[in-house]
Amino acid sequence: MPWEDEENGIEFLAIPDVNYRLTVMVDYQSPALGTQHASMYHIGEFNKEIAKCRTFVFLRELEYLAKNNLIKGGDLDNAIVLVERPTISQDELTKLAKLLGKEDLKVSVEGIGVLNSTKLQYENEPARHKLLDIVGDLALIGRPIKAHILAARPGHSGNVRFAKVLKEQIKKQQQKGKIFDLSQPALYDINDIEKMLPHRFPFLMVDKIMEITEDSIWGVKNITMNEPVFTGHFPGNPVFPGVLQVEAMAQVGGIFALSKVEDPHLYSTYFMKINNVKFKQKVLPGDSVVFELKLMSAIRRGLVEMAGTAYVNGKVVAEAEMLAQVIKDKEA
């Protein structure tokens, strides 16, 4: 997804990725800064490679910033000052030091156009700091990011505007709902499910299991007018009860747990706790309810804790967190 501020030469591009990855290019037509690049291949690199990188400012900007009280916390130890002129007088340095309230500080031009009392931590430290700014500003989205973000000439204003674009895109995707391919072959059909679960009509609430991974599962329950519960819930206004939605969700979770043991027909799964149950909208005859569950913690001593979400046409209809225990209580 591209975004551009042509007037200021700011460019962003977000590409789907399994990790949160960033690539930054900095080029402000400055002989002191030149063109710099910085990359973060995954968020695990942030603390060691990015977090300590200092902000930077051009020497020509210092007087304006100081007079307007915009750099009260600024110091030559926590900021890099870039010098674009080949020479600078000691009188000018002394004047700036006084303006900054650092009269006793001795400074000189060092390295690649840097006015500082310390060396650059990295040759591309300014670009790394711009990457740091992007990480902080995109955190305003409030969601984990799985994308490769490419940025050219970024700054806080552009970062925040791009964050708003991403957040708006997330809202649009949520409104469309989550997409499940119900036409794909089932992993377990109803005959397979009956070999794993002890439930039978009218209390077998799973029609098919579509996918199981190391830590997740999703399956389907088709709601028809033939459900016995509609006899009384409610005459003339059939609504599939929330408690049965939770039961169906739990049965999908039970299949996940039993799929992880040998001879699953020798085990039973028992409810222990249900938390944070929410019902978002009615489930009616004709609906196909997709139950998606993910492990909240590793399975230990037969205890299985999962977070589940129920969808109809991609929209969330119910949510719950459940704890159950798998017990081997049958003989071969």
Task: Give CA 121 to chain center in angstroms.
Answer: 30
Q: Are the beta carbons of 289 and 218 closer than 8 angstroms?
A: no
233 is catalytic: yes
Residue with tokens 């000691």: 90
Give, in degrees to the nearest 5, the angle at Cα 203 between 192 and 221: 60
DSSP E strand stretches across the chain: 2-5, 10-16, 21-27, 35-40, 55-58, 79-82, 109-110, 114-115, 147-152, 208-212, 216-222, 267-279, 288-295, 303-312, 315-328
Cα–Cα distance, 122 to 134 (Å, whole number): 18
Catalytic position from the list 129, 156, 199, 265: 156
Catalytic position from the list 37, 129, 199, 233: 233
Structure tokens at 225: 């007018």
Residue with tokens 């409104």: 175
Q: Which H helix or E strand runs over 157?
A: helix 156-176
Which of 195, 277, 211 is CA-nearest to residue 244? Answer: 277
148 is catalytic: no
Q: Which amino acid is at 259?
A: S
Residues that are catalytic: 156, 233
